[in-house]
Amino acid sequence: MLLIWFWFCLPNTLFTKPTSPVLLDQKEQLLAARIASDGQWRFASPDSVPIRFKTSIIQFEDHHFESHWGVYVPSIIRALYQNIKHSDVVSGGSTISMQVIRMSRDNPRRTYSEKALEMIRALRLETKYSKDEIMAMYATHAPMGGNVVGLEAASWRYFKRSPFELSWAEAAMLAVLPNAPSLIHPGRNRNALLNKRNRLLKQLLDAGVFDQMTYDLSIEEELPDKPSALPQLAMHLLNKMDNNEGKRSKSSLDGSLQKRAEEVVQYHHEALAANLVHNSAALIIDVKNQEVISYIGNCGTPGMGDHVDILESLRSPGSALKPFLYASMIDAGLITPKQLLRDVPINYGGFQPKNFDKTYRGVVPADEALARSLNVPAVEMLSTFGVTPFHECLLDCGFRNLNQPSSHYGLSLVLGGGEVTPMQLASAYAEMAQTLNVFYTENGKYAKTHSTFGTRKKPKASPISEVSETSLTFSAGALFHTMEALYKVNRPASEAGWEQLSTSRRVAWKTGTSYGFRDAWAVGCTPEYVVLVWVGNADGVGRPGVIGSQAAAPILFDLFDLLPPTSWFKTPADELIPTAICKQSGFRAGRHCTNIDTVLISKTCIEAEGCPHHQSIFLNAEKTLRVNRGCDPNPLKVNWFELPPLQTWYYKRTNPQHRPIPNWKPGCSDTSSQVDFAILFPIERGTIYLPKDLETGQQPLAMKVVNNGDGRMMHWHLDDEFIGSTEGIHELEYLIDPGQHELVVVNELGNFKRCTFKVLGAL
């Protein structure tokens, strides 16, 4: 019966007190901690105890710790004799094992029966746990003065560093603290604490633990003034990884980088807060190691949503998803990187995208459209590629919160019509970079599985080392073209002259601005790192100036400046083929193209459309008028670059050197049936608000047609009623009533253009 009682006398769980949530960096340095729920700074048990503290505590408390079985009988006899002699408890004779038992019982009042129970349980403790485990229990739960409990909490509170970095003097000071924590701690009775520490150092010297020089230097060390605040880095990550369980969480963060990154974001936050922009977040990913090395969930104004972890919050990405569409279009063989895309006013069933600068360029190369983040070409590409395939592509890239049917988002999907988290966006960019890295290092093979970029340390064996011929979401060729286009994005004013500096870091980067200036994004990547920055208000309130290029981009490049030098993506030669490209249009060269470049483009672009903008025409001898063989016996045959009339009208405004196709020579008949003009205004399916006229109360609608400079007559019809004709400059003003209308314009050859629009009335 006694043996059974002895075996079960020790509780399965000795200590049930809550511990402080603790976050460590990749080198196990403290990043952040929160006080435990009982108001104590108490860290979870460490894996091991520093040798200096272990040696000091054994010398001070229990010389025979390594040899006894939980109770050292001579000490008990000595304590019993002294207590009887003084008729009071003046000595306990407790071993470290007995003290662990006493601490587990909340330090009850000292009595002989309590001491007997401690001894029995100490014996059982020694049979159940190793000496190292018992020492770790003591180091974790020993009172260290005030509300500081345990070696690690005391080390950081008193000396601002890990217990493994303590000097002999510091370790000795912490070894003597548990002996009388309520009387002696660095905030009071400093002389008593100093004398006690120095006596222990003398004992260590006499025991031959260290030499005389170490002793002389140690006793000169001063005591800490008072407990210091613990580091509070990456607090949002601490909350994410701990979930109030009081665990010790080791992360992949770089502590030094985290501290400097928070300083950078805080510096910019102070300026942003003056514009009532209260929150910022940033993330840095080590691409090659697949680790998050800096995590700033929210640098915010206190009380203004600063508790929200923005990196895990759903926000509109603005234009930050455009690179995924660009890569998809190249992979589908629908565009080449330099191919001209339409950039004119368009209307899709009431959805009328506009470029951020409110201008149009007629046509623009695809890579330039991406670099300039033009909305109209992006919507044009999405209309061609298809919303459903693009939606599926984004889901494959990890944007799992885009879980509505593709029809829910429509064409606005590429402009930020869905919501993603900053962590998802950064991970998707990092995966693109990693795909290119692996393709090069593995000789033209792809990773079998998608990369996963987390904040915890991962084992050395990583899925990315498993490669096969199976492609991931994008081909290496498409990704390389995407990175090359993003490298050309114009940098903020703080980076002025970056193109001329040979030492300038090559970064593929993209901005994003959500509707209503609620979210400003900037995300950049190199083969080694991805940096993401978000700026805005956690409650979604928009503010002027919350623009990716102005609010987020300066922070992005300041964060890149904290990182080591980086390289650039290697050319995936196996995925690129030399191809003849029309220099003017960017399409695959057609038979009428006159200026041809041979460039490397993705294999998937080989079947892309040939150049539609060059045609063979006849001109007179002076090359000023267009003719045919019926009216000119000696026409000159030339190849001419021509754009549709609407595109030409906008293109000439930014490219004055462009020469529209010449007019027909009088008397020459045009047998072409092609519609060679366009209605510039009103826009198809557009909605028009007419301003009031101060005198009449009505304002005529000014309508305009463009036709590449051809002067032939145009006839105008509104709602099946003839309203006039124009010649040369085709502009017509007409009083129009509110409602739905249809405009039809017919030229002399019978070619016509039709436009439906709606007038809501005078404002």
Residues with active-site annotation: 61, 319
How far apart are the C-alpha atoms of 141 and 184, rounded to whole Å? 17
Task: Collapse the DSSP code of 601 into the 3-class scheme (helix H, G, I; strand E, B; otherwise coil) and give the result.
Answer: strand
Cα torsion angle, 570, 576, 580, 585, sign? negative
Which helix (H) or strand (E) segment holds residue 52: the answer is helix 51-61
CA-CA distance, 481 to 577, in Å (whole number)? Answer: 13
CB contact set of 37 (below 8 Å; sequence gap of 6+): 18, 244, 246
Burial of 146 (0-12, 13-18, 19+ CB in 10 A): middle
DSSP one-letter string for 270-295: HHHHTTT--EEEEEEEETTTTEEEEE
Task: Determine what percent of the chain falls in helix, strand and coil, rounding each to the nearest 5.
Answer: 35, 20, 45
Element housing 238 (H / E):
helix 235-242
Contact criterion met (CB below 8 Å) for 343 and 354:
no
Residue 519 burial (10 A CB sphere; 0-12, 13-18, 19+): buried
Assess contact for 548 and 523: CB atoms under 8 A. Answer: no
**Spatial distance between the Cα atoms of 309 and 25, rounded to a whole number of angstroms:** 19
Strands 362-365 and 340-343: antiparallel
Burial code (b: 16+ CB inside 10 Å, e: under 16) for 293-312 equals: bbbbbbbbbeebbbebbbbe
Q: How far apart are CA 146 and CA 388, in angstroms?
A: 62
Cβ proximity of 560 and 524 under 8 Å: yes
Q: Which of 312, 330, 577 is nearest to 426 (CA)?
A: 312
Exposed (0-12), middle (13-18) or buried (19+): which is 317, by Cβ within 10 Å?
Answer: buried
The answer to whether 364 and 340 are in contact (CB under 8 A) is yes
Q: How far is CA 166 from CA 149, 207, 222, 228, 464, in A?
A: 17, 20, 13, 16, 40
Structure tokens of 581?
């490209």
246 torsion bin: left (phi>0), alpha (psi -120 to 50), beta (else): left
Distance in angstroms (rounded) separating the CA atoms of residues 40 and 38: 6
